[in-house]
Amino acid sequence: MLSQTVCEELLGEGLICRVAEASQQWVLVAMQQHGPQLLTMLWRMLGNEQDVCDVYQSSFLHLAHVQNGREPRNVKAYVFRTASNIAISMMRSRAAEKRTLEGTASSQRTVRSPEHELDQEYMMENLRLHMGQLPDHLRQVVVLRDLADLSYGQIAQIMGISMASARVYRCKAIQLLAVWMGSEA
């Protein structure tokens, strides 16, 4: 995880604020307010420091250049949705690369060892792959609830749905993931 001092330098001391244009101050305020939560979500999704840094930076760059530099109506929703979409795209491309590489290796290997089946990293990668296959509305709820630790009320506000719908979407997503993960066992 990013060290505490690096986060404090980027978010807390305000050194960057002095150099930013006045019209872009709201982006820096958004980084200070939502940056730590965003980092937590990205770490849970990606599990790799370099990927987390790349997605974090890209998310705030998208924010700074949205609508010709004008602040969106709901900054938090924009940042979290942008970050999760970028992270999911990254996971999908990595999964496609992995499938391509495993395609040649699978012809040589037909039986998986029991150790491989119980390997935690293998299961996490599988879960990430299946999360990327969920429909957008289900995936967004799972990402915001389970990875970003947001409440159903916050999720409902971000996605523009009711709290009950957010709960139903999460339940459907978990059921789909369980079926997909169970079919591979």
Q: Is residue 113 part of a domain?
A: no
Q: What is the pLDDT of residue 156?
A: 92
Q: Is residue 142 part of a domain?
A: yes
Instruction: Summarize the confidence of residues 13-25 as an average pLDDT.
Output: 55
Q: Is residue 158 part of a domain?
A: yes
For residues 146 and 175, state if they share a domain.
yes
Alpha helices in the chain (DSSP H): 4-7, 25-46, 49-64, 75-106, 114-117, 120-133, 136-142, 152-159, 163-184
For residues 28 and 58, state if they share a domain.
yes
Structure-model confidence comparison of residues 149 and 9, the more confident one: 149
Per-residue pLDDT tens over the stretch 71-89 = 888 888 889 999 999 998 8
- Nearest in space to 166 (alpha carbons), one of 181, 178, 148: 148
Q: Alpha carbon 76 to chain centroid distance?
A: 14
Which domain covers residue 86, as residue numbers? 1-107
Given a cut of 50, whether residue 58 has pLDDT beyond it is yes
Instruction: Summarize the confidence of residues 8-32 as an average pLDDT.
Output: 63
Q: Give the chain's domain count.
A: 2
For residues 138 and 66, state if they share a domain.
no
Query: Among positive and negative, which fits the CA dihedral 117, 122, 125, 127?
Result: positive
Q: What is the pLDDT of residue 161?
A: 94
Q: Is residue 51 part of a domain?
A: yes
Instruction: Summarize the confidence of residues 135-146 as an average pLDDT.
Output: 91
For residues 44 and 124, state if they share a domain.
no
Q: What is the pLDDT of residue 162?
A: 93
Q: Is residue 112 part of a domain?
A: no
Predicted TM-score (pTM) of this structure: 0.51
Given a cut of 50, whether residue 168 has pLDDT beyond it is yes
Given a cut of 80, whether residue 105 has pLDDT beyond it is no
In degrees rounded to 5, what are phi and psi of residue 134? -65, 150
Give the contacts of 173 (CB within 8 A, at least 6 positions apart): 134, 138, 139, 141, 142
The region, left, alpha or beta by phi > 0 then psi within -120 to 50, assigned to residue 69 is left
Q: Is residue 114 part of a domain?
A: no
Q: What is the pLDDT of residue 16?
A: 47
